[in-house]
Amino acid sequence: MDNYLYKLKGKIYLNITNRCGNRCEFCIRSNSDALVGYDMKLSREPDFEDMKKAIDELPDPLGEVTFCGYGEPTYNFDTLVKTAEYLKSRGAKVRLNTNGQGRLINERDIVPELAGKIDEVSVSLNEADRGAYQNLCHPKFGMFAHDEILDFAKSCKEAGISTRFTAVDIIPNVSIRRCRKLAADMGIPLAVRQHISDNEKYK
């Protein structure tokens, strides 16, 4: 049975797609299909009814719920938006972890559809310039991707969504320093997060 929902450190995470246009060198998907005992491989992407059924098995209060699958959540955008709306109606704080390329993926501006449904967006940055990002994350959108990530984060912030960039702690210090400078210049916080190297020992 597919795991559309998983728990880490007492918080709820949603796995709504395995698709992603990046091939990040640090992606935990290249280690294994499993994460802390959950098989994250989906036989099919869930629709809203699948997500509602999974969420309705949880007790209130839901607390914080994060779209953070084994893939880029904006690939399954219809499910994301409807599920986020439902989570808000259940009083949850809704977060989205994204590679920031959802507007290229969906070929339209998705930010107005996220506003009011997503409380907080974490945009994976990891490098401060196009070439370095290309070499680290190999985005299918090529050199367009990095500019788009920055503009997406800016638009989210302007739309009133609490916005932050993230970087993994295994990238070189010089890259982290450059990301910090870029984020500060944009007035967006940067969080350096621990890289997960062991899929079964998430700390």
The three state secondary structure string of 46-104 is CCHHHHHHHHHCCCCCCCEEEECCCCCHHHHHHHHHHHHHHHHHCCCEEEEEECCCHHH
Please check whether residue 56 is in contact with residue 27, taking contact to mean a CB–CB distance below 8 angstroms.
Answer: no
Considering the complex, what minimum distance in angstroms separates the CB of residue 95 from ligand SF4?
A: 15
Task: Kindly tell me which of 8 and 58 has the beta carbon lying closer to ligand SF4.
Answer: 8
**Does residue 74 interact with ligand SF4 by CB under 6 A?**
no
Name which of residues 29 to 58 contact ligand SF4 (CB under 6 A).
29
**Does residue 71 interact with ligand SF4 by CB under 6 A?**
yes
Binding test (CB under 6 A) with ligand SF4, winner from 8, 11, 27, 115: 27
Chain-centre distance of CA 53, in angstroms? 22
Task: Kindly tell me which of 45 and 72 has the beta carbon lying closer to ligand SF4.
Answer: 72
Give the relative orientation of helices 77-89 and 48-56 as an angle to the nearest 10 degrees.
30
Name which of residues 131 to 160 contact ligand SF4 (CB under 6 A).
137
Q: Is the peptide bond before 73 cis (omega within 30 degrees of 0)?
A: no
Considering the complex, what minimum distance in angstroms separates the CB of residue 60 from ligand SF4?
A: 30
Q: What is the largest CA-CA distance in the chain?
A: 46
**Does residue 126 interact with ligand SF4 by CB under 6 A?**
no
Residues at the site binding ligand SF4, with contacts judged by CB under 6 A: 20, 22-24, 27, 29, 71-72, 99, 124, 137
